[in-house]
Structure 1
Amino acid sequence: MSEKSGSWISRMSPRGFELLCVVMLGFGHLCIMTGCDSQAFILESVIHSIHERDPGRINSHAGYYGQATCYLAFVITCLVSPSILYATSAKTTLFIASVCFTSFPLGFLYTNQYYYFFSAALNGVGFALYYTGNGGYLTSHSTRNTIESNVSISWAIGSSCMIVGAGIIALITYLTAGQAPATMDILNSTLNSTVSAQHFERRFSDMEIYLLFSVFALISFIGNVTFLLMPSSDIDNCIESSQKTVAFRDGIHLMYRAFRSPKMFILIPMFMLTGVHTSFWVSIYPTTLTFNSHLAKMIYLPAIYSLGVGLGETIMGMLISFCSKRIPNFGMRPTMFIGCFLTIMYCGLIVISTPASSPMAPTSEKPLLFQPTRLLVFVIALIGGMSDCCLCSVRSVICAINMPNRRDQAFSVSKFYQSIGTCVVFFISPFLNIYYYTIGIPILCVIASFCFFFETRRIKRMEKTMTNMELDQAEQRKKSSKYETLDEEF
């Protein structure tokens, strides 16, 4: 640690300083993702509500298309984000990314189709910069022995954003849906009906939208401040120093080499799985809850779902961190297996309780077996959050150790393929029923698991070889030192 970091920080133990950095990184993640993830749960439904009141303002499926635009910008920015990291620093990259995130919810204070798609693209730029900066910051503030634990701690704190988002959605729904009479009397003149008189799909009033996105923008601004205040000095024996000596042009060349690497090719199914799964749990399944006319009176379902996902992410993050300290390489194969198993379970519960056409448009169609209840939605969300935490944690760990000389590029390549999967799914979502997701994702899980297990076997052999070489070198140094001592005695 550098003395310029501050006297109280310099007096901290190395592990204490690591935890401070990881916790602040996780808290910044929590702030900027509170709006990003929580608004994604309801975005298609919010846009649909705005379109119904004013068809000329915005397209009815702009929720899906806006997120597709976001991930398209994400794909493009991933190609240059490591070079931007080299030109600045992990801390600066994280701050720029957080500003991009803040621009999106501000657009809902007065919805305009042009600004909406522009800010969605800017949000995609923020995603690419954030995850590159996040990987760079973690590797410069973690050792090989602590990376699995640090990734899980940071992810668990950051994923609490869904719990915070659940509280925000529940409170504002309570204030704007007539459950608080005194407040309702004050706001009544400015509100549209949150649930239509005919009990069609769940609808969002103008006031509800305004309040929700104002709070999301405010919390995102707190994330901007957090990233500005984070320590920037590296720890001793970190995986990779933040002091980069690579020129922008050389960074582009390294990115090209990372794309060509067989180590990345074999992990493409895993990266694609993360992207397709993300689009499903973040937006498509939550949209089915608000498009299902039989659930129109359950106005707190988005909050319940957000709470379940947040708890699932946090619990699994803590569990992975706990087990990683006690079981060698728990953050690799065991976590991948658990993540795929939970993902398949998640899809199974959804397919039997969700109307087939509900991802595409409001419907009164009945599901395969039974309608979801509040408890079932919470359980599905809990499992979905746990599975996402496993998949994202595994991706971060494998990228940190798979390409020692091109770690920043490895993170960007993984997000490139992930965002392609997410982008494609959002573009075609208006035309896919629920069975495409609940059958396709489990198949992708099986393929991704085989590829991941093959690559981790190669990494294990590589690390064993490096360990043996280090032991041999240590033995040679020991013998050399012994001979030098004997020479001095004679």
Structure 2
Amino acid sequence: MFPAQSPKFELLCAAMLGAGQLFMNTAFDAEAFILESVIHSVHERDPERIDQYAGYYGQSVIYGSFMISCLFTPSLLNIWTPKTLLVISSFCFAAFPFGFLFINSYYHYFSTVVLGIGKAFFNLGCTTYLTSHSTRKSIESNVSLQWAIGCGSLIVGSMILGTMTWFSGDARKEILMNVTEVVLKSDTREFSDLEIRLLSLVLIVVSILAVIIVCFLPSKDVENCIESSVKNGSFKKDLKLTFTTSISLKMLQIVPLCMLCGFNASFLMSIIPTSMHFNKNNAKMLYIPAIYSLGAGTGEVLMGFVIAESSRRIKGFGLKPTMVIGTVTLSIYCVLIHASTPFEAPMKPTSEEPMLFYQSYPLIYLIALICGISDCCFNGVRSVICALVMPSRRAQSFSVSRMYQAAACVIIFFFSPIIPLYVYTCGLPVLAVFSTFVFFKIVDSTDRMERKLTSQTWLEQDLKSTLEKKVDQKL
């Protein structure tokens, strides 16, 4: 094991945390891509079993539960360590894929509430664990490294989805002699009950691996860490501090970025792949979930490593430059989706023609790749700025930022059944440009604050040194 003051120890902690996130999110990410399509298939066979839009509404419940949980999770750091929060969250994540074994409204919504709590625990545990295992010099690179490894869940999920599609696709051709089947009802993609259960079993195994990895995370803080994992406050005091943080001027300045993260993540993880499934022009493209997940995961991972490496070489790369990259890539993928997707596709199966060109596997991969790059950029800058903008309330700023992000997700998923495509593809770029301008002002303000604190520290050190010299002379 590396010594706690070693940069290699910091990298080990960030890498292990990323690996835990990878396996923890694999089940959630893989299911998010196909959740509404799967629910729609089950509803078509048994309308009494679950509502046809329970996939969208369930994700709205996830982020509603997440948003509420973010209010009190910072106070739990006075009782539990960041690692404890991560362990509890891993069990909450593992409960979600069990619902695919017996899809029904009751367990579906119960598991979404539990998952929302788990996401709140994970996000606070993750960010506070990183601040206690990073210095000011290494925080940007460690955040990006952890995010890059964690987003490998999309690549692992694509492998699982691709394997299951190949397996079930052969069954459709009667090569596997009735083991399972892909049902092509009319010209839309449907999932059989057995296919769904097999996928659930695989994802349950992956979730168990996440629990094991998180349990073995190193606990000891690094020297000169940004913030210690040991808290001495009170639950009531920290709860009040969370409420005041949520309406503080500095936090309100970050709200556009947080909302952008939520809208972008919802669009990326669920609405785009659902639109591709509901597009009847894509009915014969059975590998859309696997191709899309692979592209998104590749974009997230590659961009995460680029930011991590560039942050070591270029000071501040993880802030302004990364935000600009995220805004540009978001605008590009919105143009591609707007041109190739029927406007009604997010809401219902449609045979409407696209504006300019049809979708293909290479185009789907390209769209997902650019989506992954933008999502990595926005989440990276949000995590870094929350670690810097309010030094005395880092845990609260992390949770409140996620609360606003979750609020955006709740809005999107709740109204998804009635929102046409152009609302997303036109609204997101406008919000991204606005968020970039606001973010630049926050970064400039934070830089001035850090320079002021640094100069004060130097003055205090000089004064202390002068006093010590005078005392020595008198002695």
Query: Are 2:131 and 2:226, in contact at CA under 8 Å, matched by a contact in 1?
Result: yes
- The offset of 1:260, in angstroms, is 2.5
Q: What are the residue-to-residue correspondences of 1:232-381 with 2, within 5 Å? A: 232-381=219-368
Q: Match for 1:216 among 195, 200, 203?
A: 203
Q: Match for 1:163 among 136, 151, 155?
A: 155
2:51 is matched with 59
Q: Distance in 2 between matches of 1:95 and 1:38?
A: 21
2:215 is matched with 228
- The offset of 1:85, in angstroms, is 2.5
Question: RMSD value over aligned CA atoms?
Answer: 1.5
Q: Distance in 1 between matches of 2:184 and 2:262?
A: 32
1:426 is matched with 413
Q: Distance in 2 between matches of 1:367 and 1:86?
A: 54
2:12 is matched with 20
Alignment gaps of 5+ in structure 1 = 1-7
Q: Distance in 2 between matches of 1:423 and 1:170?
A: 29
- The offset of 1:455, in angstroms, is 1.0
Work out the number of aligned pairs and report it: 475
Alignment gaps of 5+ in structure 2 = none
Q: Match for 1:70 among 62, 71, 75?
A: 62
- The offset of 1:227, in angstroms, is 1.1
Query: Are 1:399 and 1:410, in contact at CA under 8 Å, matched by a contact in 2?
Result: yes
Q: What are the residue-to-residue correspondences of 1:378-457 with 2, within 5 Å? A: 378-457=365-444
Q: Give the letter for the 2:203 counterpart.
A: F
Q: Give the letter for the 2:438 counterpart.
A: C
Query: Are 1:277 and 1:441, in contact at CA under 8 Å, matched by a contact in 2?
Result: yes
1:4 is matched with none
Query: Are 1:192 and 1:206, in contact at CA under 8 Å, matched by a contact in 2?
Result: no
User: What does the per-residue CA deviation read over 1:318-359, in whole Å, with 9 as the maximum and x for residues that have no partner?
Assistant: 000011001111111111111111111111111000000000
Q: Match for 1:86 among 75, 78, 89?
A: 78
User: What does the per-residue CA deviation read over 1:11-39, in whole Å, with 9 as the maximum and x for residues that have no partner?
Assistant: x7621211111111000100110011111
Q: Distance in 1 between matches of 2:323 and 2:116?
A: 27
- The offset of 1:454, in angstroms, is 1.1
User: What does the per-residue CA deviation read over 1:415-435, in whole Å, with 9 as the maximum and x for residues that have no partner?
Assistant: 000000000110000001100
- Matched residue SS, 1:356: coil
1:126 is matched with 118
Q: What are the residue-to-residue correspondences of 1:98-177 with 2, within 5 Å? A: 98-177=90-169
Query: Are 1:175 and 1:183, in contact at CA under 8 Å, matched by a contact in 2?
Result: no
Question: Normalising by structure 2, what TM-score?
Answer: 0.97
1:5 is matched with none
Q: Give the letter for the 2:6 counterpart.
A: P
- The offset of 1:444, in angstroms, is 0.8
- The offset of 1:223, in angstroms, is 0.6
Q: Distance in 1 between matches of 2:181 and 2:373?
A: 36
Q: Distance in 2 between matches of 1:49 and 1:86?
A: 45
Q: Distance in 2 between matches of 1:140 and 1:422?
A: 29
Q: Distance in 2 between matches of 1:108 and 1:42?
A: 12
User: What does the per-residue CA deviation read over 1:391-444, in whole Å, with 9 as the maximum and x for residues that have no partner?
Assistant: 000000011111111100000110000000000110000001100100111111
Query: Are 2:341 and 2:355, in contact at CA under 8 Å, matched by a contact in 1?
Result: yes
Aligned identity (percent) is 45
Question: Normalising by structure 1, what TM-score?
Answer: 0.94
- The offset of 1:149, in angstroms, is 0.4
Query: Are 2:171 and 2:182, in contact at CA under 8 Å, matched by a contact in 1?
Result: no
Q: Distance in 2 between matches of 1:186 and 1:435?
A: 42
1:3 is matched with none
Query: Are 1:355 and 1:365, in contact at CA under 8 Å, matched by a contact in 2?
Result: yes
Q: Distance in 1 between matches of 2:287 and 2:211?
A: 30
Q: Match for 2:184 among 192, 195, 209?
A: 195
Q: Distance in 2 between matches of 1:213 and 1:249?
A: 40
Q: Distance in 2 between matches of 1:213 and 1:184?
A: 20
- The offset of 1:105, in angstroms, is 0.8
Q: Give the letter for the 1:391 counterpart.
A: F
User: What does the per-residue CA deviation read over 1:87-115, in whole Å, with 9 as the maximum and x for residues that have no partner?
Assistant: 11101101111111111110110112101
Q: Distance in 1 between matches of 2:208 and 2:403?
A: 26
Q: Distance in 2 between matches of 1:241 and 1:62?
A: 41
- Matched residue SS, 1:86: coil
Query: Are 1:347 and 1:442, in contact at CA under 8 Å, matched by a contact in 2?
Result: yes
Query: Are 2:386 and 2:394, in contact at CA under 8 Å, matched by a contact in 1?
Result: yes
Query: Are 1:83 and 1:251, in contact at CA under 8 Å, matched by a contact in 2?
Result: yes
Q: Distance in 2 between matches of 1:422 and 1:264?
A: 18
User: What does the per-residue CA deviation read over 1:169-198, in whole Å, with 9 as the maximum and x for residues that have no partner?
Assistant: 0001101112797862151xxx354323x3
Q: Give the letter for the 2:7 counterpart.
A: R
User: What does the per-residue CA deviation read over 1:288-347, in whole Å, with 9 as the maximum and x for residues that have no partner?
Assistant: 111111111110011000000000000000000011001111111111111111111111
Query: Are 1:90 and 1:242, in contact at CA under 8 Å, matched by a contact in 2?
Result: yes
Q: Give the letter for the 1:358 counterpart.
A: A
Query: Are 1:19 and 1:150, in contact at CA under 8 Å, matched by a contact in 2?
Result: yes
Q: Give the letter for the 1:268 counterpart.
A: V
Q: Distance in 1 between matches of 2:11 and 2:273?
A: 34
Q: Distance in 1 between matches of 2:192 and 2:178?
A: 15
Query: Are 2:58 and 2:108, in contact at CA under 8 Å, matched by a contact in 1?
Result: yes
1:205 is matched with 192
Structure-2 change in CA distance of 1:355 and 1:180 (3 Å): closer
